[in-house]
Amino acid sequence: MMHPYLTLADGTQVVFSDLIPDEDERALPKVYVQFERPCDNGFDSVRFELPSYGYEIWEGSFTEDEMAFFKTFLSNNAHLLYAYAAEGGLRIA
């Protein structure tokens, strides 16, 4: 299940998954974090995997500067994303 995290100033939405256990029980569980932005041809979309920070571009395209921003954003927010993923999402009134 994917949960909303926040919307950036340019309309890019950030969502994250629940914790996903790794096949290696000693490894950290995974969290998928997706960045999506509407564009003329549908969506620009990229999915990152924590803790590896690997990514897969699904459709559209983000610039190199945007991808660098996303990586920095994830580095600064990974601890929160893991905490919220463990709780099954944010508790917002």
Summarised one tens digit per residue, pLDDT across range 23-79 is 888 888 999 999 999 988 888 999 999 999 999 887 888 999 999 999 999 999 999
**Cβ(44)–Cβ(25) below 8 Å:** no
E-strand spans in the chain? 2-7, 13-17, 31-39, 42-50, 54-59
Q: Report how far residue 29's alpha carbon sits from residue 9's, in angstroms, rounded to the nearest whole number.
A: 30
Q: How far apart are CA 32 and CA 1, in angstroms?
A: 10
What was the pLDDT predicted at 61? 84
